[in-house]
Structure 1
Amino acid sequence: MRPALLLMLAAALPGPAFAANQVALDNLVFVERVSTDADGKQHILLEEPKVVIPGDRLVFVLNYRNAGAQPADKFVITNPMPAAVRFADAGDTQPLVSVDGGTQWGRLGELSVAMPDGTRRAAQPADVTHIRWAFQKPIPAGATGKLMFRGIVK
């Protein structure tokens, strides 16, 4: 992996931290590789991103834990997309996304992007600048969970 790309990936993920409501965040990033065994069966492997090249699929994993004694209510995780990575998907979750640096939020299919001539076009995955998960229910004290999203190295 180019050192600059590794630094951009590391800087873009939330590090271990405690929010005001004592929810700890931790993150991991993997390269998704496909391996074929002797029988010709394909397996998806998640590997440490030692080297990445344009087109590689990355998997970002965000682990959270309510380390407080009370439920964490109205908790929100916002994650910027690394500049060197294009958003691909967020698995089964339905996060809100921004295509304008975090000013406006919505589902990807609801957003549009301004064109230089003043017209607008439908937002595409490559336009995503930030991803946001807003928890609808309080996170119980001691509870843990995991969120993920995928990106493709530009």
Structure 2
Amino acid sequence: MRTALFLLLAASMPGQALAANQVALDNNVFVERVSTDAQGKQKILLEEPKVVVPGDRLVFVLNYRNAGAQPADKFVITNPMPAAVRFADAGDTSPLVSVDGGKQWGLLSDLSVPMTDGTRRAAQPADVTHVRWAFQKPIPVGGTGKLIFRGVVK
């Protein structure tokens, strides 16, 4: 089960890619662990996820680089949430999210999900199916950056 969960996580992350506008993407997943030293000081460690279990906090790191000869304009990065992972946060960035498989996008606080009785409720992190960043400014030639979001293994 644990190995299958890791394979599911690995398969759900888009591999290294070179987009049509020549933006290279490199994706990594880490397990966030807290270590306490002899003095009681806590330190956060990011480790390779050899085995993950329910409750583990995962950190998804998306590195990008414009490898093209022109600025990359209107660039969008969309990442599906692995089915076995609940969205937690995206740090200080404000990505758009989808709670319906990528049909509609918005800030989590603005979205709702249908209930079986026909009513709607406010969307919650567990409802997120995709995370998206739409760059408002062109990525210059050679420009690089990093996007991070976190999830919790269900």
User: TM above 0.5, one fold?
Assistant: yes
Whichever residue aligns with residue 71 of structure 1, its letter is P
RMSD of aligned Cα (Å) = 0.9
TM-score, normalization by structure 1: 0.98
Cα distance, 1:11 vs. partner? 1.7
CA separation in 2, counterparts of 1:127 and 1:108? 9
Q: Secondary structure at the match of 2:62?
A: strand
Structure 1 unmatched ranges of 5 or more: none
Identity of aligned residues (%): 85
Aligned partner of 1:77 in structure 2 is 77
CA contact (8 A) 2:3 2:51 kept: no
Give deviations 1:57-97, integer Å, cap 9, x for gaps: 00000000100010000000000000000000000100000
Looking at structure 2, the residues matched to 98 and 61 of structure 1 have their Cα atoms a distance apart, in angstroms, of 19
- 1:110 — aligned with what? 110
In the alignment, residue 143 of structure 1 is paired with which amino acid? G
Runs of 4 or more above 4 Å deviation: none
CA displacement at 1:120 relative to structure 2: 0.1
Q: Which residue of 2 aligns with 1:31?
A: 31
The equivalent residue for 2:91 is 91
Query: CA offsets, 1:85-144, max 9 Å, x none?
Result: 000000010000000000000000000000011000000000000000000000001111
- Residue 53 of structure 2 corresponds to 53
Q: How much does 1:3 deviate?
A: 2.3
The answer to whether structure 1 residue 4 and structure 2 residue 4 are counterparts is: yes
Shift of 1:12: 1.6
Which residue in the other structure is 1:20 paired with?
20
- Return the alpha-carbon distance in structure 2 between the equivalents of residues 6 and 117 of structure 1: 36
Q: Structure 2 unaligned runs (5+)? A: none
Residue 45 of structure 1, CA deviation: 0.4
State the one-letter code of the partner of 1:82. Answer: P
- SS of the counterpart of 1:34? strand
Q: How many Å separate the matches in 2 of 1:58 and 1:38?
A: 26
